[in-house]
Structure 1
């Protein structure tokens, strides 16, 4: 039996140093290798072949990472659920020093995985992702032979604003083996992860999406070693109180991509090129030309709200310069009209983000029909009070209130990934190359 201490340091080695692991959650091995070289230059200890990479490229990804970094521990995030012995055996033979099995797997699978890991000279980490009772399961995994426990807030949970630190503290207190932590960690939270008892701090996006992964890894390394909080405007997950901050940074195209290519509101166009708005909706349903309720609704708005008006999608205008002036004094973030607006030169000079389906000179009469703060439909898209609205030159997106945190985080994820791709293009590659289009063309 070979040694169970992997190259690059073991979390139980006794020197007290918290290890930093980079998670290469790519689907293309050349990009993974390039980023790994940067991350190692920045000071990471362990290099992980992420689950997407293993699924896309197989265990060849582990072999090539081990060949590239022979003195570093390679982690194979297999997420094994069954057939533990064979999966761990071949991951170890490919060069993995640590292999991952799911805590949700059966006791038999975890035991078989542990036996195989120890027979082939690697460590077994049991991942608590989506485990209902992580403390109890971690204790049982230790009894079954696990070498490490992984506390892992899954990406889909991260997008809803969840964090791993409270579970981490509870598990560290319950087991005697090292514990790693993963889940949206960046330079602003890495020190907290170490302080909560993690022996291994696993970082994905904050390194692999950075335009300079070496510098990003070095910041994480410093944060862990010095207990420093290094603020960043990227890689942070929004919560209920920070949705606006995230949505102010992203485009409607980012939101659409994050939402499985969701459509913008058809036919709604910006009055002012370059305008960007976001905010919760205050809704109005009125009749074409009846501008009483739209103007009255300004009084209901709070600073930062977006007024969304269903005026039937046709002229006459229900909004003009005086309404805009009133809205700006109240602090509204913007306006969406499914219908007509007028006084557009004056509105443009005021710089107010206004979006509409029509522009015309003639206004209607303030008859007072309609309703405020009710669910409406504009151009076939439902809008409820409190839904988040994002608008720019490409149009308007409506984010249901219950999904706003998740969609804001997913849109930021799109933006951050594009930043990395933009850097690769600047370095001389074409878009077709960085997107690996030929490799991933859909086969019939």
Structure 2
């Protein structure tokens, strides 16, 4: 399997994947696909995020709920700490700072906004509990795929089925692109009805 985009993952799910809209990729090519390690922070506080970076297994994606935009919850230091520990990326319902430095690190972060203000480190917070990001519930272990289009969230128990559909869908889309290049219209390719 290649690195399927969030749109391919959603389509391969048959529309069962949840979506998180309204997040911004820290750089246009940012991409992440992996199991969610969920983090609940208090607005304006990142104590739980510090702990999560030390606890999350390599190969996971931190999915952070409840951050808010008044202060940043992640900057270049925590991005570097994530990278060094093998964390694939961060999806955060909150603000970040040190964006130029994170871009230089090429660490994938998907966030709501930016703020120069730093967070408190007092808590409360929690890890590995369900979180809500932009109105979408994410369970620990759900598979998240994030890119410039947004975030697709596949239930952990459904991932094998979806993964099996991705290659077939990519092959179908390649065939459609070839037919378009050969001069066919999408109306004919998809067998769409006439306008009434």
* Same fold? TM cut 0.5: yes
3-state SS in 1 of match to 2:151: strand
3-state SS in 1 of match to 2:59: coil
Of structures 1 and 2, the one with the larger relative CO (CA 8 A, separation 6+) is 2
3-state SS in 2 of match to 1:283: strand
**Aligned counterpart in structure 1 of residue 9 of structure 2, from 252, 255, 258:** 255
Superposed counterparts of 1:231-246, under 5 Å: 246=1
Does 2:106 correspond to 1:351? Answer: yes
For the residues of structure 2 that align with 1:286 and 1:327, how far apart are their CA atoms?
Answer: 17
For the residues of structure 2 that align with 1:300 and 1:422, how far apart are their CA atoms?
Answer: 44
1:436 counterpart residue number: 191
Aligned length: 195
**Aligned counterpart in structure 2 of residue 383 of structure 1, from 116, 138, 141:** 138
* Cα deviation 1:251-276 (Å, max 9, x = unaligned): 11112223344552021221110121
Superposed counterparts of 1:385-424, under 5 Å: 385-424=140-179
Does 2:50 correspond to 1:295? Answer: yes
Superposed counterparts of 1:36-435, under 5 Å: 246=1, 248-261=2-15, 262=17, 264-435=19-190
Q: How well do the aligned residues superpose, as a CA RMSD in angstroms?
A: 1.8
TM-score by length of 2: 0.91
Aligned CA distance change for structure 1 residues 341 and 348 (closer, same or farther; 3 Å): same
Q: Is the 8 A contact 2:48 2:125 kept in 1?
A: yes
Q: Which runs of 5+ in 2 are unaligned?
A: none
3-state SS in 1 of match to 2:11: helix
Bigger fraction of residues in strand: 2
Q: Is the 8 A contact 1:317 1:340 kept in 2?
A: yes
For the residues of structure 2 that align with 1:278 and 1:379, how far apart are their CA atoms?
Answer: 19
Of 260-269 and 346-355, more deviation after overlay is shown by 260-269
TM-score by length of 1: 0.42
For the residues of structure 1 that align with 2:62 and 2:70, how far apart are their CA atoms?
Answer: 18
For the residues of structure 2 that align with 1:313 and 1:289, how far apart are their CA atoms?
Answer: 7
For the residues of structure 1 that align with 2:166 and 2:66, how far apart are their CA atoms?
Answer: 30
Q: CA deviation at 1:436?
A: 2.2
1:182 counterpart residue number: none
Rg (Cα) greater in structure: 1
3-state SS in 1 of match to 2:80: helix
For the residues of structure 1 that align with 2:125 and 2:70, how far apart are their CA atoms?
Answer: 16
Q: Is the 8 A contact 2:42 2:123 kept in 1?
A: no
Bigger fraction of residues in helix: 1
Q: Is the 8 A contact 1:290 1:366 kept in 2?
A: yes
1:48 counterpart residue number: none
Q: Which runs of 5+ in 1 are unaligned?
A: 1-245
For the residues of structure 2 that align with 1:339 and 1:326, how far apart are their CA atoms?
Answer: 18
